[in-house]
Amino acid sequence: MGFTYVPLVPGWDLVVENLSLVPVAAAALGPVAGLGAARVAASHFSVIVRGTAQMFVAGPPVVAAAMGEAPDKEELGGARIQTQAGAIDNEAADEDDALGQLRRFLSYLPENVWEAPPIASTDDSHDRREEELLSVVPRERRRPYKVRRILELVFDRGSVFELGARYGRSLVTALARLGGRPVGVLASDPNHYAGGLTGDASDKLARFVDQCDQFHLPVVNLVDQPGFVIGTHAERQNTIRRGARALYASYQATVPWVSVLVRKVYGVAGAGHGNHAALNLRYAWPSGEWGSLPLEGGIEAAYRRDLEAADDPAALRAEIQERLDAVRSPFRTAERFGVEEIIDPRDTRPLLCDWAERAHELVRHELPAGPKRRGPRP
């Protein structure tokens, strides 16, 4: 050309605008770098084909020249690398699988932000009550369980479509249906950090809630939240600021929201299970427990001086634990209207199906349509 230019991306203003108006889904079907990588990331849902596709800001030759590193394409930006980093949501086995995932993702969403989500037909009974739900949460408070099994038992059969499973793994995010009605699903996974909210999980939560809010998907939150993950690594990961952003997302959401308190609900992260000041529903299972801190670690923090001064610290700790256990029952909270309703776990699906029907009526007739306008976040 005989001259150079200041970088610009033609049409990027439309890319930015589209993300607030219509569902955007992207697939990496081969190696993508630079602008191609940015285009894949600038989506509500993205998928990458294992083995044949990679994504990076710059490819191996540029990295070798600029950084002195010598990774191959897979080491630099293969499917596992990018899904673990959260740059791409899902991995696909092949191109057909990738395109199938795009179609499935779009099937839960309206065509634009002025429409309501589409309702699908289903032969799954609203009144299905699964006996397995009675025993899925172990009586031993510190034992994990398979939260995805709860999702399978509660939502329409075959309707759960998980997004971003390898990133922020203490939080499951998924699209699903209740009586054919699409909903967004949040669920704590106690197999990772006991379900505690990490910095990555916080980012994952905020992005997903924003998308549900934007496309009028009511949100179901299955809560087993011991609090923000703590320690030096967590502090270096900027957990509290990222966690605060996640709480902002929950409080700024205007779609109908229901929380099912499956087990733990502790601390500031637990308080972010939903906006307490909004007209949201909250059910609790009898396995529920909550407060400012879990007893594990909480006793040491609250009674440190007493324990240090005791002749037998272990005996005193056991005495304090027994005293606090006696008042920890969720029914005591319910008696004081701290929890609206404690339910039989087998009733979870029927109750949520009824809620989804009302929630979608609200979305269709009363909630404002169009792009969302929010204030700044920390």
pLDDT (average), residues 178-200: 97
Q: Which amino acid is it at 205? A: L
Q: What is the pLDDT of residues 235-262, one digit of tens each?
A: 999 999 999 999 999 999 999 999 999 9
Element at 206 (helix H, strand E): helix 199-214
Q: What is the pLDDT of residues 37-69, one digit of tens each?
A: 999 999 999 999 999 999 999 998 999 899 988
Distance CA 361, CA 350 (A): 17
Domains of the chain: 12-107 (3.90.226.10), 131-365 (3.90.226.10)
In terms of Cα–Cα distance, which of 362, 355, 348, 371 is closest to 152?
Answer: 348
Q: What is the pLDDT of residue 367?
A: 83
Statement: residue 284 has pLDDT above 90: yes
Statement: residue 327 has pLDDT above 90: no
CA angle 284-139-151, nearest 5°? Answer: 50
Q: Look at the alpha carbons of 252, 253, 256, 262 in this order and tell me if their dihedral is positive or negative.
A: negative
Q: Which amino acid is it at 325? A: D
Q: What is the mean pLDDT of the chain?
A: 94
For the whole model, what pTM was predicted? 0.92
How many residues comprise the chain? Answer: 378
Q: What is the pLDDT of residue 167?
A: 98
pLDDT > 90: percent of the chain: 81
Distance CA 128, CA 140 (A): 27
Distance CA 292, CA 295 (A): 9
Q: Among 1-15, 42-56, 312-326, 337-351, where is mean pLDDT lowest? A: 312-326
Q: What is the pLDDT of residue 143?
A: 94
**Start-to-end C-alpha separation, the chain:** 44
pLDDT > 70: percent of the chain: 100
Distance CA 28, CA 90 (A): 10
